[in-house]
Amino acid sequence: MLRKEKPKVPDTIRPAAKVETVIGPGIALQGTLTGQGGVRLEGSFEGKIQLEGLLVVGETAKVISEEIRAQSVSVAGTVQANIVASRVHITRTGRVWGDVSTGSLSTEEGGFLKGRVQMQDAENPEAASDVGAA
């Protein structure tokens, strides 16, 4: 009997919407967090974050950074940082102090954001810079 083998999808095409690394509630880190996979923070982190995947800031987490860059960011804890991501979600327990630049922003009732929001047009990213031009 012949079996049809499923084609392998290159890692660069796979969606990075799953958590591959967890930093637990008793952990405090400082430094730079970079990578291609998804990360869930439950402890505290201070430093630069640049991910090509998902970042989940859990309810017990506290993040202090100049800027967070990720494909998608979900905040249930405390974030003091500017966020640049395709999608940003703030849960009812999430607290964000910083500016957000995103193509999609959602907040649950009770979620907190103190900062400016700049929406990016996924179909025409240059359009945002044209606004207000004379």
Backbone angles phi, psi at 127, to 5 degrees: -60, -35
- Structural domain contains residue 92: yes
What's residue 4's pLDDT? 54
19 — pLDDT class (breaks 50, 70, 90): confident
Residue 120 or residue 46, greater confidence:
46
Q: Which helix (H) or strand (E) holds 127?
A: helix 127-130
Q: Please, are residues 20 and 35 in contact by the beta-carbon 8 Å criterion?
A: no
What's residue 12's pLDDT? 38
How much is the average pLDDT of 96-122?
Answer: 95
How much is the average pLDDT of 31-48?
Answer: 94
Provide the whole-model pTM.
Answer: 0.78
What's residue 18's pLDDT? 83
Instruction: Give the chain's domain count.
Output: 1
CA dihedral 41, 46, 51, 55 (to 10 degrees): 30
Q: How far apart are CA 92 and CA 110, in angstroms?
A: 4
- Structural domain contains residue 64: yes
Backbone angles phi, psi at 98, to 5 degrees: 155, 170
How much is the average pLDDT of 106-134?
Answer: 74
- Structural domain contains residue 101: yes
- State the residue range of the domain holding 49: 25-117
Residue 93 has pLDDT above 70, yes or no: yes
115 — pLDDT class (breaks 50, 70, 90): very high
Q: Please, are residues 16 and 71 in contact by the beta-carbon 8 Å criterion?
A: yes
- Structural domain contains residue 63: yes
Q: What residue type is assigned to position 106 of the chain?
A: S
- Structural domain contains residue 78: yes
Residue 126 has pLDDT above 70, yes or no: no
Per the DSSP assignment, residues forming a β-bridge with 104 are 87
**Identity of the highest mean pLDDT range in 15-19, 34-38, 105-109:** 105-109
